[in-house]
């Protein structure tokens, strides 16, 4: 067997493996971007579904629940916040901040006919009067709650939007 020195072989082509690796990387990037966009779109949809614009809840004249008249406070904890109401149903969710696009979340609770509401956070006690016929939405950002009249969640019955006219 003779060997020919001086004759060079053609260089190996690495084009195929490079294209394959690039295609895998591009596919992973595309999948990641798609998941991030889907999560952001879901966050924006949740924000729109839970956040209500409406008149602010009024400040109550009394800041205590009437335990003698049978209206015992119903207490629920959600997201490190304690919510107490005179009666009615309540639904809560963690909503992403910045219109649903951020990673940070805050608790939002909706009430169907709560009457008097007490919200306890690390910053203190807050009281709101939503009325006995009106739904309310309370969002707690940075341990400070805000309350508006209105709700979007289905409580199994028709919600009546009646701005509270009588403050207890």
Q: Whole-model pTM above 0.75?
A: no
Q: Tell me what pLDDT residue 64 has.
A: 78
Q: Residue range 61-67: average pLDDT?
A: 72
Contacts 24+ apart (CB under 8 A), 76-81: 76/109, 78/107, 78/109, 79/105, 79/106, 79/107, 79/140, 80/107, 80/121, 80/122, 81/107, 81/119, 81/120, 81/121, 81/140, 81/143, 81/145
Query: For residue 132, what pLDDT band results from cuts at 50, 70 and 90?
Result: confident
Query: For residue 12, what pLDDT band results from cuts at 50, 70 and 90?
Result: low
Q: Tell me what pLDDT residue 68 has.
A: 44
Contact between 81 and 100 (Cβ < 8 Å): no
Q: pLDDT by residue (tens digit) across 82-131?
A: 999 988 889 999 998 888 778 889 999 999 889 899 999 999 999 999 98
Q: Tell me what pLDDT residue 167 has.
A: 45
Query: For residue 69, what pLDDT band results from cuts at 50, 70 and 90?
Result: very low
No. of H helices and E strands in the chain? 2, 8
């Amino acid at each position: 067997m003779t060997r020919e020195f001086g004759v060079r072989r053609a260089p190996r082509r690495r084009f195929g493996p490079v294209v394959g690796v690039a295609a895998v990387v591009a596919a992973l990037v595309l999948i990641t971007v798609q998941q991030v966009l889907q999560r952001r779109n879901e966050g924006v949809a949740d924000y729109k579904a839970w956040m209500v614009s409406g008149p602010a809840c009024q400040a109550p004249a009394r800041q205590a629940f009437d335990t003698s008249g049978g209206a015992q406070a119903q207490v629920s904890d959600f997201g490190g916040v304690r919510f107490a109401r005179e009666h009615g149903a309540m639904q809560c969710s963690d909503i992403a901040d910045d219109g649903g696009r951020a990673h940070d979340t805050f608790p939002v609770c909706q009430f169907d006919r709560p009457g008097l509401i007490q919200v306890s956070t690390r910053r203190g006690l807050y009281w709101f009067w939503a009325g006995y016929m009106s739904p309310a939405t309370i969002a707690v950002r940075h341990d400070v709650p805000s309350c508006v009249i209105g709700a979007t969640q289905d409580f199994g019955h028709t919600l009546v939007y009646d701005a509270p006219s009588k403050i207890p």
